[in-house]
């Protein structure tokens, strides 16, 4: 059994990591680091783990663990790694945004690989450090990667994507309170969301040319988890060719499914899947993408990366059925 460490153990993403890891057949949680909760039971914060995990939070690290997940606030991972040393064999998976951009990938003799398996599945198994993609970035990239690979992103792309309240993290803010979020819908960070940089870099790497403007409108939804994204653009590609393009690109991707039925969140919430529906409507291509922001958009994808790094089937520990009812 490989031993796992989690840094920053009290948030939603850490809770989902632990929920997955306690049932993973090849690994076991070794320590859960929290500077605010040392000595207290992990199940006291993550109450869905009552009876599943007998472990207390700690403010000490075990530098010998096989894999460590960094679940810190954005911008905090570099600071933590600069002050703490792990064994050379320890794989690092960062779930923040510190290493997602190309300019930030090299840090303290570590080269972070961008951890989108559908894009970098060939190099992730040999990586020692992973920058896990953002949740919006995952949903949007999976919607557009096949077009970039075919050099078909040659005009403006328009994206609308709505996320659940868990995307804002466990700390309370005005817009994450139930009384504000319930029966409400709002746009935020219009055309300026922080995930745009990593999306553009991935698309440009595949297209091998500058990509057009990505007009992204993120929305806050009045539900707890999931992202539903729609992307559309003008394109001359025929509908039949569009279907073949997407199905061929994802033919070996166990979690990304191109489906013929309308896509909605109940198909993917509580799973590590991304469902894509691609349509040609008049002169436009429309792609609808749905993921669980805490799993395929965060913890589930991190475990998928861990599996690849450890030489395991990437589906191990991630066989979840959606909560349809």
Exposure of 83 in the CB half-sphere (CA atoms within 13 A):
8
Q: Residue 27 carries which DSSP code?
A: E
Exposure of 81 in the CB half-sphere (CA atoms within 13 A):
26
Contact 19, 301 (CB under 8 A): no
Tell which residue, 216, 198, 92, has the closest CA to residue 145: 198
Task: Give yes or no: 274 in active site.
Answer: no
Tell which residue, 163, 151, 117, 144, has the closest CA to residue 287: 144
Instruction: Compute the distance between CA of residue 87 and CA of residue 146 in angstroms, rounded to an integer.
Output: 38
Instruction: Compute the distance between CA of residue 68 and CA of residue 64 in angstroms, rounded to an integer.
Output: 10
Query: Active site residue: 20, 71, 135, 274, which one?
Result: 135
Contact 197, 101 (CB under 8 A): yes
Query: Across the strands, what pairs with 214?
Result: 157
Alpha carbon 288 to chain centroid distance?
Answer: 17
The total number of residues shown for the chain amounts to 325
Catalytic residue numbers? 135
């Amino acid at each position: 059994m490989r031993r796992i460490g989690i840094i920053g153990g009290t948030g939603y993403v850490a809770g989902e990591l632990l929920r997955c890891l306690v049932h993973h057949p090849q690994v076991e949680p070794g320590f859960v680091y929290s500077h605010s909760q040392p000595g207290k039971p992990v199940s006291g914060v993550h109450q869905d783990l009552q009876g599943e995990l007998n472990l207390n939070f700690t403010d000490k690290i075990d530098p010998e663990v096989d894999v460590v997940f960094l679940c810190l606030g954005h911008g905090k991972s570099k600071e933590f790694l600069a002050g703490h040393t792990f064994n050379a064999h320890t794989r690092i998976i960062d779930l923040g945004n510190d290493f997602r951009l190309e300019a930030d990938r090299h840090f303290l003799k570590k080269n972070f690989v961008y951890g989108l398996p559908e894009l970098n599945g060939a190099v992730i198994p040999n990586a020692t450090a992973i920058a896990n993609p953002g949740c919006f970035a995952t949903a949007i990239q999976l919607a557009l990667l096949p077009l970039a690979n075919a050099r078909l992103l040659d005009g403006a792309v328009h994206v609308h994507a709505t996320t659940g309240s868990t995307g804002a993290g466990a700390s309370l803010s005005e817009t994450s309170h139930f009384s504000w979020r319930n029966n409400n819908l709002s746009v935020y960070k219009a055309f300026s969301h922080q995930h745009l940089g990593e999306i553009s870099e991935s698309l440009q790497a595949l297209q091998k040319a500058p990509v057009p403007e990505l007009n992204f409108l993120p929305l806050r939804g009045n539900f707890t988890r999931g992202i539903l994204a729609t992307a559309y653009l003008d394109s001359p590609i025929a509908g039949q060719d569009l279907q073949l393009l997407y199905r061929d690109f994802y033919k070996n991707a166990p979690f990304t499914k191109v489906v013929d039925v309308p896509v909605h969140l109940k198909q993917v919430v509580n799973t590590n899947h991304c469902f894509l529906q691609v349509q040609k409507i008049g002169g436009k291509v429309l792609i609808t993408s749905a993921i669980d922001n805490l799993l395929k958009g965060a913890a589930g994808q991190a475990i998928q990366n861990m599996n690849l790094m450890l030489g395991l089937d990437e589906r191990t520990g991630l066989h979840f059925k959606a909560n349809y009812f």
